[in-house]
């Protein structure tokens, strides 16, 4: 909860639970087994500690201002308390006042949020997979048939004493089952909540089987009215045994998502926790948190990592400008604020809002998906900081030339290749160097000529469009290690190849950029999603020239669904490979065809005996193929379609005189 008044209300609950006016107690008791403090001396864990800014079960605590931090120190001195803890502070908050007051950060579990961007079942399918979504739905439906689901506003709890008693008892029993630790939801804490400022926005949820209470939960609606904080659940496992305690917990969350969506809410906050576990519950936003501890003689290892330095390849103007405003704040969550900064229309629904800029979780999903593909060794070492989403991989080419090349610095291309590389270089007034591919299959680089030209950027297409062949990997590696400039490898078609990707090498080479797309193998050409993989310093440079908000929420949802539910696209890739090989054999034997080039893409380059006549015949048959004779004389590029389309093409070839 971001408002200091809300955090103060929960801090009053903590003080009441501890039986004191001030929230003071041993850190070990207050932490409840929090792993963030495992490295501390046991003596530190037993010292009295003042909790400031919130409570350990608060979703987040706003970072205190300098006066607030100084006041905390004065309170601790007046209470003769040697330690102060400000828990669950977002890493994106301004922490200068905490540092100045002598606080040190301890990395905590991130806060986890389920953004309700559409139908609950559809968004869960996209985030956790169809099998997991169906399991959650079945469990919820089964539990709902046996148990009632009641919502009681905390301000009206006085008229429902049975619900109050059950809430306290189930939490007390839960604390005892889990080691007898501190129970922050006892009678006194509940009294403080009922009398506090959150009472009208807080609800207790109760599941009953007959008159027996099986499960209770506490939620608080956000101050901006857009979402729900899920603060706690407690379960009596002995009261309902058809499903496990974990399944009851998950069924309640699923029901909470449904209720929140029906109420027009936009998110459910699951609190801090393990990312893998919360991810399996549909969370798609993870905000890094730190506990800030002020304790004499204590040093805490800073596990947060340093900001990556800007790449040495950044063009001089790029080094002087920041990432554009909205994108600069992409990791600063606004879901729980009242946002009056965007000049949009608030009365016409979700489409009136700008797209989400924090794509960290989607980047992680992409990297996790490709790491499981054959030929993608080394990609497990990549992080979301190595990835930038763009409006198609072609947009990535424009971005990198604008960000990493300056007037007078040359761009090398290797014809025959994708014409837009040269097109963008000319638009940006960058000198163009052309070093044609060699060999019968047009798959050999003239590495010596490229190195001699000393280009700022060399762009390779592998598998190559329009040929379909793969480049010699030894020559590619020699170029990456031998050049003083950047090497860009466009892997738009690599999923159709059985040879390895170069994506895993970007962590090893600061001059390598690999471009990918979801338009081809993943079947999302309409989503306009490209990917640049590179060292974080290069990604930072690309962000500085990228126009914000180009990756729409609809496209993000489509990409997430496709990457999570991979069975169909992977089966389609196998089918395309099989059709490609079938078509290659049949076309090679056709009298109208001079040669079919070997292909590791989803197309075939075909050289025709009578190019113009065959192209005209295909036109009359209503079949469109790519005429690439301007790149390679006498050729056309044929995309692999479904069996019906492919057979129609073969029939049209046979009809050619």
Q: What is the mean pLDDT, run by run of 10 residues, along the chain of 657 residues?
A: 81 84 80 66 87 75 90 93 92 92 90 94 94 95 93 92 93 81 85 92 94 94 94 90 89 96 95 91 93 84 71 96 86 85 87 88 96 94 96 94 96 97 96 98 97 98 98 97 98 97 97 98 96 97 94 93 95 97 96 96 97 94 96 97 96 78
Closest CA to 200 of 220, 173, 230: 220
Q: Retrieve residue 368's tokens.
A: 């996790």
Q: Where are the beta strands (DSSP E) in 174-283?
A: 202-209, 212-221, 227-235, 267-272
Closest by Cα among 544, 510, 316, 537 to 408:
316
- Residues with Cβ within 8 Å of residue 28, at least 6 apart in sequence: 37, 45, 46
Q: Where are the alpha helices (DSSP H) in 428-469?
A: 447-453
What are the helix (H) ranges across 565-622?
Answer: 567-588, 611-620
CB distance 478 to 448 below 8 Å = no
Which residues neighbour 644 within 8 Å (Cβ) at sequence distance 6 or greater?
none
How far CA 167 is from CA of 204, 251, 255, 256, 438, in Å, comes to 8, 18, 19, 18, 76
The angle subtended at Cα 47 by Cα 53 and Cα 304, nearest 5°, is 55
Query: Side-chain half-sphere of 197: how many Cα atoms within 13 Å?
Result: 13
Q: 194: exposed, middle or buried (C-beta count within 10 Å: 0-12, 13-18, 19+)?
A: middle
Q: Which helix (H) or strand (E) holds 69?
A: helix 66-78
Question: What SS3 state is found at 620?
Answer: helix
Run of H or E including 83: strand 83-90
Phi and psi angles of residue 18, each rounded to the nearest 5 degrees, phi first? -85, -10
User: Collapsing DSSP states into helix, strand and coil, what is residue 425?
Assistant: helix
pLDDT for 62 equals 83
607 Ramachandran zone, left/alpha/beta (phi>0; psi -120 to 50)? beta
The beta strand positions in 497-643, using DSSP E, are 512-517, 530-533, 593-596, 603-608, 626-627, 635-639
- For residues 226 and 222, what is the distance between their CA atoms, to the nearest angstrom? 6
What is the spatial distance between Cα 250 and Cα 234, in angstroms, rounded to a whole number?
A: 12
Residue 296 Rama label (left phi>0; alpha psi -120 to 50; beta): beta
Supply the pLDDT for residue 18. 82
Quote the CA–CA distance of 458 and 451 in Å, as a whole number: 10
CB 601 within 8 A of CB 576: no
Q: What is the model's pLDDT at position 335?
A: 87
Q: What strands, in cross-sheet order, belong to the sheet with 530-533?
A: 387-390, 530-533, 512-517, 486-490, 457-461, 411-413, 432-434
Question: How far, in Å, CA of 560 to CA of 366, rounded?
Answer: 8
According to DSSP, residue 632 is labeled: S
Estimate to the nearest angstrom the gap between the alpha carbon of 475 and the chain centroid.
34
Question: How many CA atoms, within 13 angstroms, populate the side-chain half-sphere of residue 434?
Answer: 11
Q: Cβ contacts of residue 279 below 8 Å, gap of 6+?
A: 112, 127, 128, 361
Based on the number of CB atoms within 10 Å of its own CB, is 394 exposed (0-12), middle (13-18) or buried (19 or more)? buried
Does a cis peptide bond (omega within 30 degrees of 0) precede residue 274?
Answer: no
Q: Give the per-residue pLDDT at 262.
A: 95
Residue 320 gets the label, from left (phi > 0), alpha (psi -120 to 50) or beta, of alpha
pLDDT at 180: 64
46-83 burial: b if 16+ Cβ within 10 Å, else e: ebebbbbbbbbbbbbbbbbeeebbeebbeebeeeebbb
């Amino acid at each position: 909860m971001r408002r200091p008044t809300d955090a103060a209300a929960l801090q009053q609950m903590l003080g009441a639970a501890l039986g004191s006016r001030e929230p003071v107690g041993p850190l070990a008791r207050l932490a409840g087994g929090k792993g963030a403090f495992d490295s501390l001396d046991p003596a530190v864990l037993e010292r009295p500690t003042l909790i400031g800014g919130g409570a350990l079960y608060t979703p987040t605590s706003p970072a205190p201002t300098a006066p607030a931090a100084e006041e905390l120190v004065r309170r601790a001195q007046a209470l003769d308390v040697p330690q102060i803890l400000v828990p669950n502070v977002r890493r994106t908050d301004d922490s200068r006042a905490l540092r100045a007051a002598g606080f040190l950060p301890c990395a905590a579990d991130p806060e986890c949020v389920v953004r309700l961007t559409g139908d609950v079942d559809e968004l869960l399918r996209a985030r956790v997979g169809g099998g997991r979504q169906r399991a959650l739905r079945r469990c919820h439906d089964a539990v709902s048939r046996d148990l009632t689901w009641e919502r009681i506003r905390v301000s009206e709890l006085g008229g429902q004493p049975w619900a109050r008693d059950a809430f306290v008892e189930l939490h007390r029993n839960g604390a005892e089952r889990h080691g007898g630790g501190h129970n922050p939801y006892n009678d006194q804490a509940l009294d403080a909540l009922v009398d506090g400022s959150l009472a009208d926005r807080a609800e207790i949820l109760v599941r009953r089987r007959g008159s027996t209470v099986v499960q209770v939960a506490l939620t608080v609606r956000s101050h901006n009215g857009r979402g729900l904080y899920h603060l706690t659940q407690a379960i009596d496992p002995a009261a309902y045994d058809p499903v496990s305690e974990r399944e009851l917990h998950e069924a309640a969350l699923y029901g909470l998502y449904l209720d929140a969506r029906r109420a027009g809410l936009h998110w459910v906050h699951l609190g801090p926790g393990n990312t893998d576990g919360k991810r399996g519950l549909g969370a798609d936003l993870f905000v890094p948190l730190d506990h800030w501890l002020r304790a004499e003689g204590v040093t805490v290892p800073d596990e947060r990592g340093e900001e990556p330095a800007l790449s040495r390849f950044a063009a001089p103007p790029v080094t002087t400008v920041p990432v554009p405003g909205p994108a600069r704040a992409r990791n600063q969550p606004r879901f729980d604020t009242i946002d009056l900064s965007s000049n949009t229309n608030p009365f016409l629904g979700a489409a009136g809002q700008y797209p989400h800029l924090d794509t960290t979780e989607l980047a992680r999903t992409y990297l996790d998906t490709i790491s499981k593909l054959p030929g993608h060794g080394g990609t497990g070492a990549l992080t979301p900081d190595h990835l930038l989403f763009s409006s198609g991989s072609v947009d990535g080419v424009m971005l990198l030339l604008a960000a990493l090349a300056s007037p007078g610095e040359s761009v090398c291309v290797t014809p025959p290749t994708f014409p837009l590389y040269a097109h963008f270089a000319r638009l940006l007034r960058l000198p163009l160097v052309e070093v044609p591919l060699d060999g019968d299959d047009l798959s050999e680089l003239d590495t010596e000529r490229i190195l001699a030209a000393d280009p700022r950027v060399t762009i390779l297409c592998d598998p190559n469009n329009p040929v379909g062949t793969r480049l010699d990997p030894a020559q590619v590696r020699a170029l990456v290690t031998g050049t003083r400039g950047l090497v860009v490898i466009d892997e738009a078609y690599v999923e159709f190849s059985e040879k390895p990707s170069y994506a895993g090498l970007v962590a090893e080479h600061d001059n390598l950029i690999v471009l990918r797309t979801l338009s081809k193998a993943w079947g999302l050409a309409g989503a306009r999603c490209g990917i640049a993989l590179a060292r974080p310093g290069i990604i930072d440079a690309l962000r500085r020239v990228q126009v914000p908000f180009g990756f729409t929420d609809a496209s993000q949802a489509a990409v997430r669904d496709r990457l999570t539910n991979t069975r169909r696209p992977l089966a389609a890739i196998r089918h395309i490979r099989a059709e490609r090989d079938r078509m290659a054999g049949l076309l090679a034997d056709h009298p109208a065809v001079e040669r079919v080039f070997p292909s590791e893409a989803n197309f075939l380059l075909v050289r025709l005996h009578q190019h113009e006549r065959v192209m005209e015949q295909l036109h009359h048959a209503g079949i469109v193929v790519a005429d690439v004779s301007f790149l390679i004389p006498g050729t056309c590029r044929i995309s692999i379609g479904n069996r019906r389309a492919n057979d129609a093409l073969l029939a049209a070839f046979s009809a050619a005189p």
